[in-house]
Amino acid sequence: MVQRQLPNPAELLELMKFKKPEFDGKKRRLDSALTIDDLRTIAKRRTPKAAFDYTDGAAEGELSLTRARQAFQDVEFHPGILRPAPSVDTSVEILGGPSALPFGIAPTGFTRLMQTEGEVAGAGAAAAAGIPFTLSTLGTTSIEGVKATNPHGRNWFQLYVMRDREISYELTRRAAAAGFDTLQFTVDTPVAGARLRDKRNGFSIPPQLTLGTIINAIPRPWWWYDFLTTPKLEFASLSTTGGTVGELLDAAMDPTISYDDLAVIRDIWPGKIVIKGVQNVEDSVRLRDAGVDGIVLSNHGGRQLDRAPIPFHLLPEVRKAVGDDFTVMIDTGIMNGADIVAAVALGADFTLIGRAYLYGLMAGGRAGVDRTISILRTEIERTMRLLGVASLAELEPAHVTQLTRLVPVTRAASDAVVR
């Protein structure tokens, strides 16, 4: 029989400790976010549908994005045991400079539309965390504005080659003059992808008010207050801002972009240059042989060609083909620090986060971006400790198995089925 007794009030007080209330609403909601998915949920609640869907959506059926995220979920880790890692080193040297973490902030367009602090929040958070920040050609903060926000940190610039080449050349010169150390020459956007959410929402720059957008905005007055009481939303580097996103991209981009354009930009740009949007092994090898400083395996977050290759699946084969001394980075689908650890283990030198950063921005401005970085840092450190590694250099392919859902069908197998 269990002996029972009346509760001792003093012992009850020891067991029950009331949590101190948090009266700062922003801090309270950000503290409640334990994952990037949590930040996404908060962002969706606080952001008008058109702006949120522009960030969250992808091209056509959104298969590329779904598959990229699934690829990271289909990872099996293989931890080592009895290998103490009481502290871990998450720092890395990338493209001639340091980063405190194995990821940086990817270039995103129209960023102030998601939340009015925009690139200033991203660059400031990157500076505080000691990681690179990348400004998009279609950014809503100027090159010089980002430099002022992050004067001593690492700033990178993402370049689209436009129909009017002189615009691209001038942007390249401005970024170099401002001390940006790396150029991301983007090759996967000769024309705009079919982003159906944007078309259905009538999404444009500047936003066009309809009865639907007004109704959707009613429970989100804070977004409209920020939007209407801060400087005009416009592209900081481009003068033409009217039309839908697809129309803007089609007017700016040029399907004739080629290696000749790369040669011209390389003559103008004095720093490191990486090619963003590489999607096969053959191009990876060709670019290495052409003497660029690195590549980014990317399908543009699934926002261009739907059913494009999954960058994470390409990674091991690309690394094997280009060798260990060539810089290979990866983006698309990263939603957890464990995704980043898996990518590094399979050969990535570095990773870039886009949506994860924007979810934090929409959830809470600069503080939300800080929260994104904090969540990913915690997940990276915890995953490394559980794997039994004390530094990124100790990660190796043996730590990861890519489980397969999508298996290519060979011609022989197809013929056998037909027979």
Q: Which two tokens stand for residue 191?
A: 């024309």
CB neighbour class for 50 (10 Å; exposed up to 12, middle 13-18, buried from 19): buried
- Tokens for 182? 């790396």
Phi, psi of 161 (to 5 degrees): -90, 115
Give strand pairing partners of 165: none
Q: Match 């809503």 to its residue by tokens.
A: 140
CA-wise closest residue to 46 among 115, 129, 106: 115
Q: What is the DSSP string of 307-349?
A: TPPPHHHHHHHHHHHH-TTSEEEE-SS--SHHHHHHHHHTT-S
Residues with Cβ within 8 Å of residue 52, at least 6 apart in sequence: 43, 44, 114, 362
DSSP conformational letter for 398: G
75: number of Cβ within 10 Å:
20
User: Catalytic: 313?
Assistant: no
User: Token match 């089609």: residue?
Assistant: 250
Q: Are 126 and 135 in contact (CB under 8 A)?
A: no
Give the angle 393-385-66 at the CA atoms, nearest 5°: 80
- Candidate list 78, 300, 313, 399, residue with the active-site label: 300
Q: Return phi, psi of residue 204, to 5°.
A: -150, 170
Catalytic residue numbers, as ranges:
300
